[in-house]
A and B are shown apart, each in its own frame.
Chain A
Amino acid sequence: MKYIDSAIVKLTDVSKRYTVENLALHRVSLEVQKGEFIFLTGPSGSGKSTLLKLLFCAERPTEGTIRVDGMDISTLTPSQIPMLRRRVGVIFQDFKLLGRHTVFDNVALSLEVLGLKTSQVEKRVREIVANVGLIGKLEQKAIELSGGEQQRVAIARAVVNRPPIILADEPTGNLDRDRTNEVMELMEELNARGTTIIFATHDEKLFENTHRRVVRLENGRLVK
Chain B
Amino acid sequence: MIAGIIYKRALSDIRQNLTNQAMTILVVTLSMLLLLFFALFSFNLRHFVEELGSKLGIVVYLKKEVPQESIPALYKRISELKGIESVNYTSSEDAFRKLKKYLADEQQVLEGVDATFLPPSFEIQIDRAVFNIERIREVAAELSTWKEVSKVQYGQEWIDRLEVFSGLTQRALVGAGLLLLITTAFVVANTIKLTTYARQDELEILRLVGATNMFIAGPFLLEAFFQGLAGSLLATVIVYATTQYLQSLLSQHPLFKEVELVFLPLSYTAGIIGGSIIVCITGTAISMRRFLKL
- A-side interface residues toward B, CB under 8 Å? 56-58, 78-79, 81-86, 90, 96-98, 100, 109-110, 112-117, 157, 161
A83 and B210 contact, Cβ closer than 8 Å, known pairs A96-B201, A113-B215, A115-B2: yes
A85 and B5 contact, Cβ closer than 8 Å, known pairs A96-B204, A96-B205, A113-B215: no
Question: Could you tell me the distance between the alpha carbons of A100 and B16 in the complex, rounded to whole angstroms?
Answer: 9
Q: Are B210 and A85 in contact (CB under 8 A)?
A: yes
Cβ-neighbour of B1 out of A81, A83, A84, A115 (below 8 A):
A115
A113 and B206 contact, Cβ closer than 8 Å, known pairs A79-B212, A82-B212: yes
Q: How large is the interface on B (under 10, 10 to 19, 20 to 34, 35 or more residues)?
A: 10 to 19
Which residues of B sit under 8 angstroms from A97, Cβ to Cβ? 205
Closest to B1 in A: A115
B202 at the interface (CB under 8 A from A): yes
Question: Could you tell me the distance between the alpha carbons of A115 and B206 in the complex, rounded to whole angstroms?
Answer: 14
Contact sample, A vs B, 10 pairs, CB 8 Å cutoff: A82-B212, A84-B210, A85-B207, A96-B205, A97-B205, A113-B211, A114-B210, A116-B1, A117-B1, A161-B210
Which residues of A sit under 8 angstroms from B5, Cβ to Cβ? 112, 115
B208 at the interface (CB under 8 A from A): yes
Q: Are A98 and B202 in contact (CB under 8 A)?
A: yes
Which residues of A sit under 8 angstroms from B204, Cβ to Cβ? 96
Q: Are B208 and A82 in contact (CB under 8 A)?
A: no
Contact with A along B204-248 (1 / 0, CB 8 A): 111111111101000000000000000000000000000000000
Closest to B16 in A: A100
Question: Could you tell me the distance between the alpha carbons of A21 and B114 in the complex, rounded to whole angstroms?
Answer: 110
Which residues of B sit under 8 angstroms from A96, Cβ to Cβ? 201, 204-205, 208
Which residues of B sit under 8 angstroms from A98, Cβ to Cβ? 201-202, 205
B255 at the interface (CB under 8 A from A): no
Which residues of B sit under 8 angstroms from A78, Cβ to Cβ? 294
Taking A85-B207, A113-B210 as known contacts, 6 extra A-B pairs with beta carbons closer than 8 A to each other, sorted by chain A number, are A98-B202, A109-B211, A110-B209, A112-B5, A112-B215, A113-B215
Interface core residue of B5, B9, B204 (most chain A CB under 10 Å): B5
Closest to B212 in A: A82
Closest chain-B Cβ to A151's Cβ sits at a distance in Å of 15
Closest chain-B Cβ to A109's Cβ sits at a distance in Å of 5
- B-side interface residues toward A, CB under 8 Å? 1-2, 5, 9, 16, 201-202, 204-213, 215, 294
A109 and B206 contact, Cβ closer than 8 Å, known pairs A78-B294, A82-B211: yes
Closest chain-B Cβ to A90's Cβ sits at a distance in Å of 6
Question: Could you tell me the distance between the alpha carbons of A82 and B207 in the complex, rounded to whole angstroms?
Answer: 7
Which residues of A sit under 8 angstroms from B201, Cβ to Cβ? 96, 98
Which residues of A sit under 8 angstroms from B215, Cβ to Cβ? 112-113
Closest chain-B Cβ to A3's Cβ sits at a distance in Å of 22
Give the 4 A-B CB pairs with smallest separation, nearest first: A85-B210, A86-B210, A113-B211, A82-B210
Question: Could you tell me the distance between the alpha carbons of A157 and B206 in the complex, rounded to whole angstroms?
Answer: 11
Which residues of B sit under 8 angstroms from A161, Cβ to Cβ? 209-210
Q: Are B209 and A81 in contact (CB under 8 A)?
A: no
Question: Could you tell me the distance between the alpha carbons of A96 and B209 in the complex, rounded to whole angstroms?
Answer: 11
A57 and B206 contact, Cβ closer than 8 Å, known pairs A100-B16, A113-B212, A115-B5: no
Which residues of B sit under 8 angstroms from A56, Cβ to Cβ? 208
Question: Could you tell me the distance between the alpha carbons of A81 and B211 in the complex, rounded to whole angstroms?
Answer: 9
Question: Could you tell me the distance between the alpha carbons of A57 and B207 in the complex, rounded to whole angstroms?
Answer: 11
Which residues of A sit under 8 angstroms from B213, Cβ to Cβ? 79
Q: Are B1 and A85 in contact (CB under 8 A)?
A: no
Closest to A87 in B: B210
A85 and B212 contact, Cβ closer than 8 Å, known pairs A78-B294, A115-B5: no
Which residues of B sit under 8 angstroms from A117, Cβ to Cβ? 1
Which residues of A sit under 8 angstroms from B212, Cβ to Cβ? 79, 82, 113
Q: Are B1 and A110 in contact (CB under 8 A)?
A: no
Question: Could you tell me the distance between the alpha carbons of A98 and B202 in the complex, rounded to whole angstroms?
Answer: 6
Which residues of A sit under 8 angstroms from B210, Cβ to Cβ? 82-86, 110, 113-114, 161
Interface core residue of B16, B202, B210, B213 (most chain A CB under 10 Å): B210
Closest chain-B Cβ to A160's Cβ sits at a distance in Å of 9
